[in-house]
Every structure is written in C-alpha cells, then in structure tokens.
Amino acid sequence: MYIPVIAFLLLQSLLATVSAQPPNLTVALDGTGDYRSITKAVGAIPNNSPNLFRMYIKAGVYNENVVIPAKKRIIILSRDVMDKTKIVSTRSWKISGHGIGESVIFIVNNASPEGEQVVALRMAGNFIAGLRCSIEGFQDTLYANHGSCHFFYNCDIFGTIDFVFSVASLVIQNSIIHVR
C-alpha cells in the first residue's frame, strides 16, 4: 500500500525538478537537436554515472529499436506532445538500466498480431517508472522481466491477450488498460 504512494511521490518530485532543468541532450529528426536518433543519443549517455541525465525527444515518428543497457543509469526521457512524438518498432524497446524515468513517452510496437510475439516494452532494471506514457502492442505489450519497483502512473497500455505480465514488482496506477 505504501510503496505505490512513495514511488509516485518520488516520480512526481523527480520529474518536476528535471522539467525545470535544460536537457543534457536533445533528439530531433529534423536535425535541430544533438542527435537524430534515440539509439545514438542513448550511446552518448555516460556509463555508470551517478548523476541524473535528461534526454529530450522532439516531435516526430522515430522508427528504431531502442535498447537502454544496464550501464546507463538515472535517466529521464521526456518529449514534446504525446500524440506527436512516437517511437515505433517491430521489436522490443528494452530497458535494463536502473533509475529510468519516462515522461509522456509513446511506444508503439507495430508487429502484426498474426506474426511472432513481440514485447513492446521489456524492463529488466530497477526503479523504472513511466508517467503519462502510452505503450501499444498486441500480445506481450508490457513485460517487467527482472528488477524491482517498476511504476506506471497515468498511462495507456494497449494489447490483445496476455499483454501485461511480470516476474518483477510492477505497479500500474491511475492508468487505462485497453483491450484491442
């Protein structure tokens, strides 16, 4: 009962603090940022850093398979407007880092429901949180594979069957789970 409240308060506090700070780097398809690709921007984040790192993603449709490895820690991903910034993939968006926060991220897995099972968002780190995110897939949309304290607040999660599953601790609060 207390863990979701504490996690929510920490997430809100962290995102409010970070929102007031300029990003460490910006991703923009039109070339107005530091990188045109989220994957290349993730590569630029220092490994095992004890400092918070903020990545700002400008509006656009990013067609790429994003992986945030375990050595990338304490990251906040934020973006412009939810329905104008999408990360689209036919494979899993994988987060293994610790202390990752996502604010208004829109992840779409466009693998066909008739094809192979593909997880839209796979989490394997600790303290991964999402605030005002949209995660779309079919089967196996959201998978908390390993780690602890995954928290999603005010999110939309779309899928068909068996699409939210976890072996880690996962709290989804004040969110809508849409069955396709």
Averaged over 79-85, what is the pLDDT? 73
Which residue among the candidates 30, 83, 140, 156 is catalytic per the annotation? 140
Report in angstroms the alpha-carbon separations of 162 from 45, 116, 120, 140, 149. 34, 14, 13, 6, 21
Binned at pLDDT 50, 70 and 90, residue 20 comes out as low
Averaged over 35-55, what is the pLDDT? 92
Averaged over 90-111, what is the pLDDT? 72
CB 87 within 8 A of CB 64: yes
DSSP H or E segment with residue 177: strand 176-179
For residues 9 and 180, the model is more confident at 180
With a cut of 60, say whether residue 1 has pLDDT above it: no
CB 105 within 8 A of CB 133: yes
Query: C-alpha dihedral over 122, 128, 132, 133, to 10 degrees?
Result: -10
With a cut of 70, say whether residue 82 has pLDDT above it: no
Give residue 38's pLDDT: 93
Active site (annotated) includes residue 140: yes
If one counts the domains in the chain, the total is 1
Q: Tell me the residue range of the domain where 82 lies.
A: 2-179
CATH of the domain at 96: 2.160.20.10
With a cut of 60, say whether residue 70 has pLDDT above it: yes
Averaged over 25-49, what is the pLDDT? 95
